[in-house]
Amino acid sequence: MKKIITILATLMLTTMSINFAKAEGFAVGVTGAYTMINADGQETEATVTGVATSGEVTKKSVDNNVFTGSVFAEYSFVNVSYADSGVTFGVRYTPGSADVSDKVFSRTDTSTGADAAAEADTGTYTAQAQVEKYINYYLDLPLYKSLYVKAGWSQIDVKTQESATSTTIGSYGDATLDGINYGIGVKGENGNIVWKLAYEATNFDTLNLTSSTSNKIKADLDTSEVNLSVGYKF
């Protein structure tokens, strides 16, 4: 990560002399990104009355690095209060899906002792999650020449993929999370061709899910990425 940020910072400094998008206009294009997904979560088993060993909490931190592709549409206009630089409003959509973890995790529980029959959670549990349908509404504000900052609002779908040989875990279903997106980058244009190179991060709301057997999941999902966008301005 430090190497990526260093490379990006160097590119920002060397491209500050390039004329960036000043002309008013509508643009569409594509974005390629190297995305880093991080999640910290815990599962709390349902409490069974009279069972001292119920209510067990399992914690896990997972991550995955993936390449993603997306499409964007944006509108830039000249604003003299920003030294004739282009303030931009846009939307970006990433189709497809990506695993939250680079591996599938499983565990085997065994109920023992006097509470074994009542707890009834002996079995093997397998868990994974996917994120999909990422959409981002954003505002680009120029800082100096080609350098700009980005702020936006994002939304993503989370699909849980759990399985178990025990009936006590149940199923969790899916959820949609909102997030705050921010970043910094450089942009430029050559005729009708526009481009951006940026580092971005998104902090999503906490995921809270309850299974059909009253187990609970709580997770914090964040993403960061380095991306390159190329588009055509009309």
What CATH number has the domain bearing residue 195? Answer: 2.40.128
Question: Vertex 178, ends 174 and 181: CA angle to 5°?
Answer: 135
Domain carrying residue 215: 2-233
Give CA separation, 108 vs 121, 123, 138, in Å: 9, 6, 44
Q: Tell how far CA 123 is from the center of its chain.
A: 32
* Structural domains counted in the chain: 1
pLDDT number for residue 145: 80
Residue 195, pLDDT above cutoff 50: yes
| DSSP code for 146 | T
Q: How confident is the model at residue 15 (pLDDT cuts 50, 70, 90)?
A: very low
Q: What is the pLDDT of residue 42?
A: 80
Q: Check whether 62 has a pLDDT greater than 70.
A: yes
Q: pLDDT tens-digit profile of 23-48?
A: 578 999 999 999 998 888 787 776 66
| Whether pTM exceeds 0.85 | no
> Mind listing the pLDDT tens digit for each residue in 197-230?
999 999 999 888 887 777 788 888 899 999 999 9
Tens of pLDDT, residue by residue over 121-138, are 555 556 567 778 899 999
pLDDT exceeds cutoff 80 at 142: yes
Confidence class for position 16, pLDDT limits 50, 70, 90: very low
Residue 223 or 11, more confident: 223
Which strand (E) or helix (H) includes residue 118?
Answer: helix 116-119
